[in-house]
Amino acid sequence: MILRRSRTLIVGLAAALLGFAAVAAPLTQASSAGAAADDGVLRIGSDLTYPPYAYLDGEEPAGFDPDFMRALAAQIDREPEFVDTRFEQLITSLQAGHFDVVASALYITEERAGQVDFIPYFTTGNSIVSPTNSAPVRDAGDLCGLSVAVIKGGEVATQLRSEASAACEKDGGAAIDVRDFTSDTEGTQALLAGQVDAQVTDAAVAKSAVDASNGSLAITSDELLFPASVGIAVAKGDTELAEELRGGIERMREDGTYEKLLAQYNLAEPDPEAVAEAMGKNAPAEGDEAGAKQGFVFDWPYFFSLFAVPDFWSAALTVLVLSALAWGISTVLGMAVALGRQSRFAWLRAVLGAYVWFFRSLPLLVLLIFVYNAPQVIPELRAIVGSPFMAGLLALVLSETAYISEIHRGGLKSVAGGQGEAGRALGIPWGGVQRLIVIPQAFRVALPALGNELVTIIKLTSLVSAISLTEILLVGQRIYTQNFKVLETLLAVGIFYVMLVTVFDQALRLLERRLDVNRRGKRAKLGTATSNIDVLPPAPKRERTPHEGEQVLQVRELRKSYGETEVLKGIDLDVHRGEVIAIIGPSGSGKTTLIRTLNAMEPINSGDVLFHGKPVGYARDASGAKKPVSDRVVAATRAEVGMVFQQFNLFPHKTVIENVTFAPDYLRTASRAEIRERAMALLAKVGMDAHAEKYPHQLSGGQQQRVAIARALAMEPEALLFDEPTSALDPELVDEVLRVMTELAAEGLTMVVVTHEMRFAREVADWVVFMDQGVVVEEGPAEQVFDRPEHDRTRRFLKRVHATD
C-alpha cells in the first residue's frame, strides 16, 4: 500500500510539474523576446569563471567575451549587462528568457544548433596540460588509460568519452577516465594535487593555467585537439536580434576592432566550412536567416528511455553506497562525539565542541574541494583521498558527523539519568553501560531525525560531482548539455532520487518497527498472574540481628558538599553482616546522599567509606592522600553492594527476564542457562515469574520495584542498598514491596534502607539511624529509637509522622 501511494504521489507530482512547464515556457519565451529591445539593454549570459574568455576582475567582467560583447553592444547602441551563469546552464537559461544572448566560448555543435541560433565569431581548439615532472602527453592517443580533467558540460568531454576512448579500445588500450569539474580552475587544481594525470581544455584557457602555475604545468600537446568553431547564441526564432548582432560584427570588421580583439587573444576567424560541418543537419539553408521558433513539447519516449541508460543505474548505485557509508560511519562517530561532549574532561569537551562548531559552519562544497586537493599540500594523503569516491566519503563524514552528533546529543539527553546509574550500580563499567543501556535507548529516540539526515545526505551527494564523482545529477547534466532536453532529463534525475529515498525510508521504517518496545510488548506473553500481593508467600518471622560482629560497611567522618552547601557533616556508621539498618529523617536531611556514597554513586569530599576495610571509589597512597581508581575497580565493588532505586530504573528496552539476567550475563558469572534459571527463581521469589517476558511499561509500579529487587539480587551481593523503595508507589502497592524486603531480611541479607515507612523500620530494622540537616542526630535499636527516643528532634519528627499516619 505504501509503495502504491508513493507511485501515485510521484506520478501526480510529475504531471503537475509538466503542466506548469507546458504553460509557463511559451509565456516566458514570448514575454522575453522583446524585453531587451524595449529597455535598450543587451543581457549577456556568460560563465565568469572561465579565464581568459570570461572572468571577474574585481567586480567587472573581463576577458575576450566581455571585451568583444562591449564593443558589439556599442555598435548596436545597447548597454551590455552580464549575467554570470554556470556553463552547463547557459543554453537552458537563454531558452527560459533570463538573458538575450550567450557569449561564453560556446562551441558550435549539431545538437546545440538544434536548440539555438549561432553567430560564429572565432575558432579555437583544445590543448593537453600535464605536470612538468611527468611524461609528456602529445595527443589523444597518449591519454588512453589516464585520468583527465575536463569542464562539466564541455563538448571536449563528449569527444574524449566517445571517439577518443573508442580509438583507445580499438588499439587494445584502456578507455580515457574523463572526470568532470565545475570549472577549469578546479580541474587545474586537481591536476596540481595529483588527483588526475592530465587536463584537456581550451587552448587559451590552457595557456592561462600554465602561465599561473609557476613552472609546475606545461602544454604538452603538439597541435590543437578537436578544433572547434565558437558562436554567440541567440534564442531560436529571434531573427531580429540575430540580424542586429551580425550587422554589429560587420561594422566591427570594418573599423578593425574585430581583428584587433582576435589578435590580442591569439584567436582566429571562423571557417565557414568548419561551421557548417559542426552544425550538421541544423546548418541554415542558403538564404535562411534563422531557425523557426518552436514551442515546448515534452518528449515522453525520451524520458522513459532514460531509465534504460546504464550510466544512471551505475550512478544510482554509487549514490546508494556513498550515502549508506557516510550515514553509517557518521552515525557511529557522531555518537562518539556526543558522548565525548559529556566527558568530565574539560579539554575534551572543548575540542569536540570546536569540531562541531567548525564543520557545521563550513559549506560542504568548500570541504569537498579542499579534501580532494589536500594531497597538493600533503602528498601522503593521496593514498586516502586519491579517488573522488573516497574524498567525497571523507568530506561527507567530516561534515555529517558534526550534525549527527547534535542529534545524538538530544537523544542522550532524553534518556533518564537513572538508567546509567542503574547499570553502574549493577557493577557494569562505563563502557558497557553506554553501549548496552544508554545508547540503544538514545538511538531509538534519535532514529526519526537520523532518517531525515540520511535523506539529506542522499541529496547532498549531488555536490560530490564538483570533484568529478559520477553521481545521478552529473549523469543528467552530461546528457542535457548535449541534447538540451532539460525538463525530461531532470525529471528522470528526480525520480531516481525519489526511488533511492523511498528504499532507505522503507528500511528505516522497518528498523523503527523492530526497535519499538510498545509493538514488541504487544506480542509478549501476558501470563495469568495478576499484580496483586496474593502471589507472594507470607513473610516469615525473623530474629533481630545484634549491632555487632563482622563489619561489611564502615563510614568514618564522612563529609560531602555540593558547591558551598555541605549536605553530610562528619557521618559515622557501621553496617554488620546480616543487619538491617533503616535510615529515617525529614526530606533534605542527607539520607539519599549518604546511601549513594556507600557504593560510590556520589564521590565524597573527605572521610572514608570502606567495604570490608577497603576504600570504596578511591584509594590512598603511601602518604594517606586519596587518589582515583579505575572504573573497573569501582564496578567490582558495586557488584558486591547492590542498589534498588526510588524510581525503579528498569531498562525499558529489555524484558523482565532480560533486566534480571543483564548484569550476570555481561560479567559472565555463570553459564547463560544457569543465569536464566537463577533469574527465574528470583522472579518467583518476588512473585514475578509469570511476567518474565513482559516489558517494564506493561507492569505496575509495585511489580517494577519487585523486578528491580530481583535484578539487584541476581548479582548475589553481600549487601543491598534501598533508596526510598516505596515512595513512588501508590499506597496499595507498598505492601507487596515491603513483604519482599521483609522476606529478604529474614534470609539474613545485609540491607541499608532509606525509608519513610515507619512500620517497616520499627518491625523489620535491627538498627535505626535518624538524620537531620546532614548529621546523625540519634541511632540505636528500633525499639529504643521509636519507643524511647533520647533527642528532642527525634521525638518531634516521630510525633509528626505518627500524626499523619
Beta bridge partners of 116: 235
Residue closest to 235 by CA, chosen among 80, 95, 43, 36: 95
What pTM did the predictor assign?
Answer: 0.80
Which of 32-41, 91-100, 133-142, 724-733 is predicted with the least confidence, judged by mean pLDDT? 32-41
Pairing type for strands 79-84 and 54-57 reads unpaired
What average pLDDT score do residues 257-270 get?
A: 90
Q: How confident is the model at residue 530 (pLDDT cuts 50, 70, 90)?
A: very low
Q: Residue 278's pLDDT is what?
A: 87
- DSSP states along 31-80: HHHTHHHHHTEEEEEE-TEETTTEEEETTEEESHHHHHHHHHHHHTT-EE
For residue 33, pLDDT over 70 is answered with no
Do residues 774 and 783 touch, judged by C-beta distance below 8 A?
Answer: no
Per-residue model confidence as pLDDT tens digits over 584-621:
999 999 999 999 999 999 999 999 999 999 999 999 88
Q: How confident is the model at residue 14 (pLDDT cuts 50, 70, 90)?
A: low
CA–CA dist 466, 457 (Å, integer):
15
CA–CA dist 401, 334 (Å, integer):
5
Grid cell at residue 8: 501515485
What average pLDDT score do residues 235-253 get?
A: 94
For residue 763, pLDDT over 50 is answered with yes
Q: What is the mean pLDDT of the chain?
A: 88
Q: How confident is the model at residue 443 (pLDDT cuts 50, 70, 90)?
A: very high
- DSSP states along 711-771: HHHTT--SEEEEESTTTTS-HHHHHHHHHHHHHHHHTT-EEEEE-S-HHHHHHT-SEEEEE
DSSP 133: T
Residue closest to 45 by CA, chosen among 108, 1, 88: 88
Q: Residue 128's pLDDT is what?
A: 95
Residue closest to 666 by CA, chosen among 439, 431, 430, 428: 428
Per-residue model confidence as pLDDT tens digits over 385-397:
889 999 999 999 9
Do residues 397 and 336 touch, judged by C-beta distance below 8 A?
Answer: no
Residue closest to 406 by CA, chosen among 352, 363, 464: 352
Q: How confident is the model at residue 803 (pLDDT cuts 50, 70, 90)?
A: low
Residue type, 609: V
**Any alpha helices (H) in 531-583, and if so which ranges?**
none
Peptide bond into 66 cis (omega under 30): no
Phi, psi of 64 (to 5 degrees): -60, -50
Do residues 741 and 734 touch, judged by C-beta distance below 8 A?
Answer: no
Q: Residue 400's pLDDT is what?
A: 98
Q: How confident is the model at residue 730 (pLDDT cuts 50, 70, 90)?
A: confident
Q: Residue 538's pLDDT is what?
A: 60
What average pLDDT score do residues 72-101 get?
A: 92
Which of 17-26, 362-371, 620-629, 636-645 is predicted with the least confidence, judged by mean pLDDT? 17-26
800: left (phi over 0), alpha (psi -120 to 50) or beta: alpha
Pairing type for strands 606-611 and 551-562 reads antiparallel
For residue 8, pLDDT over 60 is answered with no
- Close Cβ partners of 472 (under 8 Å, ≥ 6 residues apart): 312, 315, 316, 319, 461, 462, 493, 496, 497
Q: Residue 111's pLDDT is what?
A: 86
Pairing type for strands 614-615 and 606-611 reads antiparallel
CA–CA dist 555, 609 (Å, integer):
5
Report percent pLDDT > 90 for the chain.
68
Q: Residue 404's pLDDT is what?
A: 98
Q: Helix or strand or coil: residue 576?
A: strand
Q: Residue 528's pLDDT is what?
A: 40
Q: How confident is the model at residue 130 (pLDDT cuts 50, 70, 90)?
A: very high
Per-residue model confidence as pLDDT tens digits over 683-703:
999 999 999 999 999 999 889
The 3-class SS string of 582-649 reads EEECCCCCCHHHHHHHCCCCCCCCEEEEEECCEECCCEECCCCCEECCCHHHHHHHHHHEEEECCCCC
Residue closest to 578 by CA, chosen among 546, 556, 614, 554: 546
Higher pLDDT: 736 or 355? It is 355
Do residues 27 and 65 touch, judged by C-beta distance below 8 A?
Answer: no
CA–CA dist 309, 344 (Å, integer):
55
* Cβ neighbours around 795 below 10 Å, total: 13
Residue closest to 644 by CA, chosen among 697, 686, 595, 584: 595
Q: How confident is the model at residue 779 (pLDDT cuts 50, 70, 90)?
A: very high
Q: Helix or strand or coil: residue 160?
A: helix
CA-based Rg of the chain, rounded to a whole angstrom? 40
- The long-range contacts involving 252-257, CB below 8 angstroms and separated by at least 24 positions, are 252/71, 252/72, 252/75, 257/71
- DSSP states along 336-396: HHHHHTT-S-HHHHHHHHHHHHHHHHS-HHHHHHHHHHGGGT-GGGHHHHSSHHHHHHHHH
Specify the DSSP element, H or E, that contains 555. Answer: strand 551-562
What average pLDDT score do residues 179-199 get?
A: 92
Do residues 654 and 732 touch, judged by C-beta distance below 8 A?
Answer: no
For residue 11, pLDDT over 70 is answered with no
CA–CA dist 729, 453 (Å, integer):
41
For residue 415, pLDDT over 70 is answered with yes
Per-residue model confidence as pLDDT tens digits over 322-352:
999 999 999 999 999 999 999 989 999 999 9
Per-residue model confidence as pLDDT tens digits over 531-578:
444 455 565 666 788 888 899 999 999 999 999 999 999 999 999 999
What's the distance, CA 510 to chain centroid? 20
Q: Residue 602's pLDDT is what?
A: 93
Which of 366-375, 520-529, 615-624, 730-739 is predicted with the least confidence, judged by mean pLDDT? 520-529
Q: How confident is the model at residue 16 (pLDDT cuts 50, 70, 90)?
A: low
CA–CA dist 680, 686 (Å, integer):
10
Q: How many residues does the chain have?
A: 805
Burial code (b: 16+ CB inside 10 Å, e: under 16) for 58-87 equals eeebbbbbbbbbebbbebeebebbbbebbb
Q: Residue 175's pLDDT is what?
A: 95
Q: How confident is the model at residue 302 (pLDDT cuts 50, 70, 90)?
A: very high
